[in-house]
Amino acid sequence: MSVSNYDVIIAGGGIPGLTLACGLRGSGLRVAVIEAQTEVQVGDRPRAYALSPLSARIFRAIGIWEQIAPAISHFPQVVLSDADYLHRVVFTPADLGEPAVYYCAEHRVLQTALHHQASTDPHITCY
Ligand SMILES: Cc1cc2nc3c(=O)[nH]c(=O)nc-3n(C[C@H](O)[C@H](O)[C@H](O)COP(=O)(O)OP(=O)(O)OC[C@H]3O[C@@H](n4cnc5c(N)ncnc54)[C@H](O)[C@@H]3O)c2cc1C
């Protein structure tokens, strides 16, 4: 029986687990990601995520933003209002120094990009 040694073992290869694994790239740590479901099952989850500018920064930092950008929707503004109150608060990209106030991405887009990024790194093993 062969034995593998890892410094970090991540239980669950969904978006958060793979993002953590990709964030550890370049650290020198040997990382294992253990996912109970098949890649197809994990990729098939019918969800979309509203991504904050901070999430966008994380995805840029781990190197998948360029790949997912064509499939990302941009929210040009967010308006906070209340039915009984006359005033509104409007956030625009200029307020945040970002191209958009918020982003939206389908699960499959993120999952595919993250899985590819993680599984092509020699220090990360996806099970
Ligand atoms: C419809 C929907 C829309 C959402 N929209 C948003 C959004 O817009 N913005 C946002 O921030 N969040 C959103 N979320 C929430 C987001 O999906 C979750 O907060 C996040 O995915 C939770 O991360 P997690 O790692 O705990 O779980 P998951 O992403 O579910 O990942 C857990 C993984 O662990 C695997 N697993 C479970 N048990 C084991 C085991 N024993 N061994 C190995 N693997 C195991 C599972 O198969 C799964 O792949 C949404 C969720 C849903 C359902």
Predicted confidence band of residue 103 (pLDDT cuts 50, 70, 90): very high
pTM score over 0.85: yes
Per-domain boundaries in the chain: 8-126
Q: DSSP letter for 63, please.
A: T
pLDDT, tens digit, 9 for 90 and up, residues 60-96 = 999 999 999 999 999 999 999 998 889 999 999 998 8
Q: Which of ligand 1's atoms lies nearest the C-alpha of 55?
A: 11
| Average pLDDT over the chain, rounded to an integer | 94
Encoded tokens for 76: 């040009």
Residue 9 Cβ < 6 Å to ligand 1: no
CATH no., domain 8-126: 3.50.50.60
How far is the centre of ligand 1, averaged over its atoms, from the C-alpha of 105 (Å)?
15
Q: Is residue 1 scored above 60 in pLDDT?
A: no
Q: Which of ligand 1's atoms lies nearest the C-alpha of 12?
A: 34
Long-range contacts of 53-58 (CB under 8 A, 24+ apart): 53/96, 53/98, 53/100, 53/101, 53/102, 53/103, 55/103, 56/98, 56/103, 58/19, 58/23
Query: What pLDDT was estimated at residue 30?
Result: 97
